[in-house]
Amino acid sequence: MSKSSERIDTVAQRLLDDPSLYFGIDGSHIPVIIKRGGGNPSVQRILSKLFRKTINDTAKEIPIRLTRKQVDEIQSLLADHAEASGDHFDVKNRVTEIPKGCIIDIGDDTQNRIVLEGGKVRTSAAGCDPLFGRSPSTLPFVKTGPFKGDLELIFQYLNMAKTPAWTLIAWMLYTLSTERNSSTSYPILVIIAGQGSSKSTLCKLIIRNLVDPSSLGVQGFPTNRQDMVIASNHAFILIYDNLRYLSKQWSDILCIASTGGTDPTRRLYTDDELVTHFFKVPLVLNGIHDFIVEPDLAQRCVFIDLDSISEDTRIDEKLFTENFNQHLPKIFKGLLELLAKVLEIIDTVEVTHPQRMIRFVKYLAAIEQVAGLEKSSLQKAYSDSLQDRQRDAVLSDPLGSIIYEMVTDGPRSSWSGTPTELLNEILGFFTEYDSRKRKLPDNPSMLSRRLQALAPGLLSQQVEVELTRAKERKITITNLDSY
């Protein structure tokens, strides 16, 4: 068997004839092979490096030795076959939801799953049908045994008060149990802390290991949206380090990442065909400065402030890591045990402080109940934090601060008129040489658009902005606290 084409056809046909292999495409239109039989099903992307090993292992069984170019051609041939098959597979990333529970992909070679159901935690080695895709960067969760978990161990590694610590745990539970689909949203975890507060250690050691072990670790912020979309296909959560500033455009992109959107891009192996990728991913952002300035984005965030660490209490990072890794199995098991109990009651809890991310608020309420915390304590702290951040975001915008002051500072509690009239009144607030004047809209139409974006943040501060259209546009601004 000396001809290259014969070698390629023989190996490809051996894989095509294997009754345990199923060819098709996943939700991102990526060609995949599903292997069933002998345990839980596995998923491999046909054009991945991992599948190259499968091809070479198959060739050795024949036996045939393949060149790199021949393996490339086999991958291309099988990818074409997978697309032509017309089969679509619902491939999950790390987690899929079930009634009052969830199934988590451990990420090891055995294809074992963690099943949380009926308030209990168990491991499934076979018969667990959901399909889980993995990237080359996926790493397995820490192994847990029959021992009881101990979540209390985590608090010694969190340099924050108990309330924000429980809020962080709630975010981890929410993210760990919420699959990516069109009906879910992910609150963005934002960690603001000064230099030397171990924010990077918190992200890369604690959050990464407990929610989504991955060789991606913690990254620098991307330069464009497509880089973030591609990265979201290689990890369940993305963690970005040391942010200083977010543009309006990036704030809008992060809003889409939180609540969902699409991203058109070329197929990886063609030159001209566009594919629409579903874009939604849990995000962790950290920085020294408060970089969340858009009110709409602030509503989608969970803010955690870290305490500063004094020099006399600082511990060597290597020792800190060794101590945490020693406790990691019990901490992770404790996290799973708490999550199982939370999922059992999540749909029956009482929400006392509703916010935009209402499902996350339910997790806070469930933790209050399961962990024996004071009722509404976590919900109120989260609500107060959002109110503070919304106020900061609104008042940091020159237009937002003026609108707020118009009906809260002084005898007037409301204003009504046309966009032109409002623009003239706003411009009267500033001297000719005031630098903030350059950041204001320069025409009535742009003013209306800016107000629409600021309206949710102003409403969180009890200032209602209503834009109506009859014979002419009309804007009504009302201080709701005055009524």
Say if CB 83 and CB 25 are below 8 A apart: yes
Per-residue pLDDT, 265: 53
Residue 266's pLDDT band (cuts 50, 70, 90) = very low
User: Do 151-391 and 397-482 agree at the fold level?
Assistant: no
How many residues are listed for the chain in this entry?
A: 483
- What CATH number does domain 397-482 carry, 1.20.1630, 1.20.1250, 3.30.450, 1.10.10? 1.10.10
What is d(CA 305, CA 286) in angstroms, rounded to the nearest whole number? Answer: 10
Residue 293's pLDDT band (cuts 50, 70, 90) = confident
pLDDT per residue as tens digits for the range 372-416: 999 999 999 999 999 888 888 888 888 888 899 899 988 899 999
Residue 365 reports pLDDT greater than 80: yes
Per-residue pLDDT, 272: 42
What's at 302, amino acid-wise?
Answer: V
pLDDT per residue as tens digits for the range 183-233: 899 999 999 888 777 888 999 999 999 999 999 889 999 999 989 988 888
pLDDT per residue as tens digits for the range 116-126: 999 999 999 99
Say if CB 149 and CB 336 are below 8 A apart: yes
On the 0-12 / 13-18 / 19+ scale of CB atoms within 10 A, 264 is exposed
Per-residue pLDDT, 194: 82
Distances (CA, A) of 236 to 176, 332, 412: 9, 17, 50
Contacts of 27 by beta carbon, 8 Å cutoff, 6+ apart = 88, 90, 91, 278
Residue 90's pLDDT band (cuts 50, 70, 90) = very high
Per-residue pLDDT, 268: 44
Domains of the chain by residue range: 4-89, 92-132, 151-391, 397-482
**Residues 332-352: what's their mean pLDDT?**
97
Say if CB 196 and CB 114 are below 8 A apart: no
Contacts of 437 by beta carbon, 8 Å cutoff, 6+ apart = 398, 427, 430, 431
Name the more confident of 1 and 410. 410
Whole-model pTM: value is 0.88
Distances (CA, A) of 317 to 21, 199, 205, 242: 46, 12, 11, 18
Residue 1's pLDDT band (cuts 50, 70, 90) = very low
What is d(CA 131, CA 4) in angstroms, rounded to the nearest whole number? Answer: 35
Q: Element (H or E) spanning 285, and its range?
A: strand 283-287
- What CATH number does domain 151-391 carry, 3.40.50.720, 2.40.160.40, 3.40.50.300, 1.10.645.10? 3.40.50.300
Say if CB 199 and CB 306 are below 8 A apart: yes
Residue 437 reports pLDDT greater than 80: no
What is d(CA 292, CA 303) in angstroms, rounded to the nearest whole number? Answer: 10
Phi, psi of 98, deg, nearest 5: -130, 165
Per-residue pLDDT, 270: 42
